[in-house]
């Protein structure tokens, strides 16, 4: 029997909460079968760190390079050249995270839309997949994607938390969907049980989004409240149960999907 392994497609491994024990975090992930990870880049400074981590471990790690909607005002004309340079790096598997966040509104909405549109153009130009973020901005998000869908390749809506109708509309646009430990929250993740049932194998991937979004039902609960890739099997098991699949089946297709999507090396 082939050994089960998982891919964490969204881990903020450059976060300073991992500075003291990053190697131990990776070792714990490996020990439970989380063999490959995509390190999220969300700002120009963060992209450089994500690229350095990924370049040092090319079999195990890839990076994304992008500007999160929270940092949209960072994307001045000069900085666009810098992001293009980062995104071209061979350790960068996708452009992003990029998108819209009207929940926090840390950047003005018109700046968010411009930064998002520009990064979609960049992904098309570089022929790299896109790592998407969306919160409370579903209509604008879909409208922008719909206009450019023909010019970009594969794209994943990471940390999907919306309802069934938005999930259907994302799938209609041929987008992939990433599910985090939000799924395990009995108060605000219940509706995602219906969402994961309509995502066909080949469109679904899983992620921790660590150090954020520690699964609420994790036992024992780490005192630090920090999430990490070693908890991905917990999320995978919950999603598999909702889909009436075995953990092995879910691992098999989500890993195959992630490897194809991010062009990860074979293990
Ligand atoms: Zn995000």
Cα-to-centroid distance, 97 and ligand 1 (Å): 7
pLDDT at 35 over 80: yes
Measure 78 CA to ligand 1 centroid, in angstroms. 24
Widest CA span in the chain = 52
Ligand 1 mean position, distance from CA 163 (Å): 17
pLDDT tens for 128-159 read: 999 999 999 999 999 999 999 999 999 999 99
Distance (angstroms) between ligand 1 centre and the Cα of 159 equals 6
Q: What is the pLDDT of residue 2?
A: 59
Query: What does the pLDDT look like over 83-133, one tens digit per residue?
Result: 999 999 999 999 999 999 999 999 999 999 999 999 999 999 999 999 999
Give me Rg for the CA atoms of the chain: 17
Distance 221 CA to ligand 1 centre (A): 23
- Cα 187 from Cα 54, distance rounded (Å): 35
Mean pLDDT value across the chain: 96
How many angstroms is it from 3 CA to the middle of ligand 1? 30
Q: 64 has which bridge partners?
A: 94
**In the structure, what pLDDT confidence band is assigned to residue 267 with cuts at 50, 70 and 90?**
confident
| DSSP code, position 17 | G
What contacts 152, CB < 8 A, 6 or more positions away? 120, 123, 124, 130
Which pLDDT does position 3 carry in this prediction?
A: 75
Q: What pLDDT score does 179 carry?
A: 98
pLDDT at 1 over 60: no
- pLDDT above 70: percentage of residues in the chain: 99
DSSP string, 148-161: HGGG---EEE-S--
Residue 247 Cα to ligand 1 midpoint, Å, equals 25
* CA of residue 223 to ligand 1 center, whole Å: 24
- The rounded Å distance from CA 155 to ligand 1 centre is 14
Mean pLDDT across 16-34: 97
Q: From ligand 1's centre to the CA of 1, what distance in Å?
A: 35
> ∠ at Cα 227 (160, 163), nearest 5°?
15
Task: Provide mean pLDDT across the span 163-179.
Answer: 98
Strand partners, 62: 38
The reply to whether the predicted model has a pTM over 0.85 is: yes
């Amino acid at each position: 029997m082939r050994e089960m392994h998982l891919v964490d497609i969204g881990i903020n491994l450059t976060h300073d909460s991992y500075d003291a024990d990053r190697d131990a975090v990776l070792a714990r992930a490996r020990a439970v079968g989380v063999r490959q990870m995509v390190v999220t880049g969300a700002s120009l400074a963060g992209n450089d760190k994500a690229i350095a981590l990924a370049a040092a471990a090319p079999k195990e790690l890839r990076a994304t390079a992008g500007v999160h909607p929270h940092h949209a005002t960072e994307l001045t004309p000069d900085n666009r050249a810098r992001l293009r340079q980062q995104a071209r790096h061979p350790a960068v598997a996708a452009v992003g995270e990029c998108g819209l966040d009207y929940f926090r509104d840390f950047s003005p909405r018109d700046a968010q839309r411009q930064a998002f549109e520009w990064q979609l153009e960049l992904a098309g130009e570089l022929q790299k997949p896109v790592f998407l973020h969306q919160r409370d901005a579903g209509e604008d998000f879909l409208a922008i994607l719909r206009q450019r869908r023909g010019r970009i390749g594969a794209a994943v809506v990471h940390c999907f938390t919306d309802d069934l109708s938005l999930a259907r509309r994302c799938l209609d646009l041929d987008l992939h969907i990433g599910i985090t430990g939000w799924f395990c929250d009995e108060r605000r993740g219940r509706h995602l049980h219906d969402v994961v049932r309509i995502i066909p194998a080949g469109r679904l991937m899983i992620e921790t989004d660590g150090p954020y979004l520690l699964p609420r039902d994790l036992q024992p609960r780490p005192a630090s409240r920090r999430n990490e890739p070693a908890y991905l099997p917990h999320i995978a098991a919950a999603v598999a149960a909702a889909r009436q699949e075995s953990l092995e089946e879910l691992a098999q297709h989500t890993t195959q999907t992630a490897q194809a999507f991010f062009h990860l090396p074979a293990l």
